[in-house]
Structure 1
Amino acid sequence: MSVRKTQKEATRQRVLDAARELFESKGYDTTTVREIAQLAAVSVGSVFTTFSSKGDILSQVMADRLDALYGELDRLAPHLRGSTSDRLRSIFAIHYAFETRRTRLFLAHIAAAYNWALTPSSRPYGRNPRLRNVIRDCLAEGKARGDVDPAGDLDLMVDALMASYAWTYRLAAWENADAETMSAVMDRHIGLIADGFRPRPSENA
């Protein structure tokens, strides 16, 4: 790697480290690019040379974290047991345990999904396909096992589960709820959603 490339990568990493710290301590909305640059000890111009917007910085901060989360899921998923509902509960419990290590950062990630001014390259909650794919694979396996309606719309089920997962984080924002509390609420949501995706008895049975 050339000296110039090495310096550029070092700048990029300093910006990401500074942004992660500020988003967690101050919140995404109140953090400015100038503050990120100051903490990273780089110029504002250097920040914009590396990232097109503050939203892109948040997206990369989260992408780096999510790599670790999905590495953990890839390791644990083959060992999950029980019905599709049970396996979904385990998947979301792993997510809550991971994301509540930096709850404010994840709340910013969710909030960014509703920011109409984000650039197309930004990847807020819902735009990253990895969580959708994990849930969809679990449901597809449920179809194969016979505890998910074979005629069910997998994408609709995924949307319902992802919406419930994000909405449960209001408890962290409003009541400082921990991972165990939110997982218990999500377990009940999954129970209700599962009532909708279970196979229906055949009318001719």
Structure 2
Amino acid sequence: MNADVDTASRPPASRQSQKEATRLRVLNAARELFDTHGYQGTTIREIARHAGVAVGSVFTTFASKGEILSEVMQARLDPLYAELDRVMPHLRGSTADRLRTMFAIHFEFEARHVRLFLSHIAAAYDWTLPPGAKPYGHTPRLQEIIRETLQKGIEQGEVRADCDLQEIVDLLMAAYAWTYRLVITREAGTQAMIDAMDRQIGLVAEGFAPRG
């Protein structure tokens, strides 16, 4: 009863501060667990235990495990996209080469926590995700960067103007995600995945190149 009275009488700023502290503890715990146990291998109960909070506190802050992962990945990916925004306008070479550089930067970035990124991909196939979750494929900034690169290719005469750019974006993102299977099937390192993606981009580029 005393605890209930103390909580009720606590100033709003203090309660908000405690809520934010709980949120950060949950996100930090989830980041570690997703990176070691994967998406399917991590449960809300384990996240709560690892964070040192009650399971109910987790659900008070987040709607689902997928939403927790979305916030973890957004915090990780925002600096990457900021770096790409800085680098991409200065890249030279063909459209295919610019795409290769962009994806190479992605592979090198995710190599630090590759299992965490595999969790990000796995969440895309969780049909129970709520609308607020943003797994791989629901990150609009990545799609925008690819589309901007292709649009520049049209302006330079390297990409056919009649191409459906969204279909090319989807194909490249699918190839990028599929390349991560090499981590599981062959224990591939970053350079092996970059080389595989480079070849796939070459094949896609043959399809969007002007005819004759």
The reply to whether TM is greater than 0.5 is: yes
Question: Aligned partner of 1:13: which letter?
Answer: L
- Measured on the aligned residues, the alpha-carbon RMSD in Å equals 1.1
In structure 1, how many angstroms separate the alpha carbons of the residues matched to 2:105 and 2:171?
Answer: 18
Which amino acid is the alignment partner of residue 68 of structure 2?
I
Q: Which residue of 2 aligns with 1:15?
A: 26
Which residue number corresponds to residue 197 of structure 1?
208
| Separation in structure 1 between the aligned mates of residue 209 and residue 58 of structure 2, nearest angstrom | 50
Matches of 1:175 and 1:113, distance apart in 2: 23
Match of 2:165 in 1: 154
59-68 vs 3-12, which moves further? 3-12
Residue 183 of structure 2 is aligned to residue 175 of structure 1 = no
**Paired residue for 1:164?**
175
1:89 maps to 2:121:
no
Report the equivalent of 2:131.
Answer: 120
SS of 2:162's equivalent? coil
1:145-175 deviations in whole A, cap 9, x for unaligned?
Answer: 1110011110011011111101100001222
Which one of the candidate residues 106, 109, 114 is aligned to 2:117?
A: 106
Distance (whole Å) between structure 1 residues aligned to residue 189 and residue 72 of structure 2: 22
Cα offset for 1:178?
Answer: 1.5
1:94 Cα deviation from its structure 2 partner: 0.3
Partners of 1:199 and 1:2 in 2: how far apart? Answer: 61
Are 2:152 and 1:129 aligned?
A: no
- Aligned identity (percent) is 60
| Partner SS state of residue 211, structure 2 | coil
Query: Normalized against structure 1, the TM-score is what?
Result: 0.95
Match of 1:187 in 2: 198
* Mapping for residues 41-80 of structure 1, pairs under 5 Å: 41-80=52-91
Q: How many Å separate the matches in 2 of 1:92 and 1:34?
A: 35
Q: Stretches of 4+ moved more than 4 A in 1?
A: none
Render the CA deviation track for 1:73-103: whole Å, top value 9, x for unaligned.
1221122110100000000000000111111
**What is the aligned residue count?**
201
Letter of the structure 2 residue corresponding to residue 53 of structure 1: S
